[in-house]
């Protein structure tokens, strides 16, 4: 019995001591390279194809910029109506501002979903646009249709939309440059 047990432990020890085969790899076996006379260049990376998310994001930011253009135009039209005392025209233009703002907000929301948190600078830019849109929405909701009361709000809104356009253009550059 002792001999059988000793033989069993001996065979078990051999089984453990036998080298395990290395997993197959696609790498060529390492060979000693001759010393290079010129410094080696870093491998250049071919430009990667734009991902479908990147294309969607660039298109979405462009859509937001277009909607921003509508916001600016509608705000300018509303300011003209307010300055001329045209209450009816003012109400019409204020509705256009609201529609353009809603369009821009939807585009930005889609952009945020696509972008996620992949690019910190882009995420910060989209959040900046979001906060500006929330403030603009409050201003639009507070319109009365009274040219005297709404004129200062329109002035402020025009500045907000101009800043938003600039931020969106920065976001577009960032998306084209660094988003993958």
pLDDT tens, 106-152?
Answer: 999 999 999 999 899 999 999 999 999 999 999 999 999 999 999 99
In angstroms, the CA 66 to CA 53 distance is 20
For all residues of the chain together, what is the average pLDDT?
Answer: 84
- Residue-wise burial string across 48-72, b where 16 or more C-beta atoms lie within 10 A, e elsewhere: eeeeebbebbbebbebbbebbebbb
Angle between helices 120-141 and 87-115 (to 10 degrees): 160
Span 90-118, average pLDDT: 94
Give residue 58's pLDDT band: very low, low, confident or very high (50, 70, 90).
very high
* Count, residues in the chain: 180
Percent of the chain surpassing pLDDT 90: 66
pTM exceeds 0.85: no
User: 52-175 in CATH: which number?
Assistant: 1.20.120.660
Listed by start position, the domains of the chain span 52-175
Span 78-105, average pLDDT: 94
């Amino acid at each position: 019995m002792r001999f059988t047990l000793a033989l069993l432990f001996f065979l078990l020890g051999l089984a453990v001591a036998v080298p395990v085969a290395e997993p197959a790899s696609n790498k060529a076996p390492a060979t000693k390279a001759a010393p290079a006379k010129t410094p080696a260049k870093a491998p250049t990376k071919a430009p990667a194809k734009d991902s479908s998310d990147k294309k969607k994001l660039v298109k979405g930011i462009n859509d937001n910029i277009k909607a921003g253009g509508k916001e600016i135009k509608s705000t300018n039209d509303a300011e003209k109506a307010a300055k001329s005392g045209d209450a009816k025209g003012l109400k019409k233009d204020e509705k256009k501002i609201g529609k353009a703002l809603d369009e821009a907000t939807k585009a930005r929301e889609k952009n945020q979903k696509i972008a996620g948190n992949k690019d910190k600078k882009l995420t910060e830019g989209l959040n900046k646009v979001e906060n500006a849109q929330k403030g603009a929405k409050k201003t639009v909701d507070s319109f009365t249709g009274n040219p005297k009361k709404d004129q200062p709000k329109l002035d402020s809104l025009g500045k907000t939309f101009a800043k938003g356009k600039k931020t969106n253009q920065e976001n577009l550059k960032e998306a084209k440059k660094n988003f993958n």
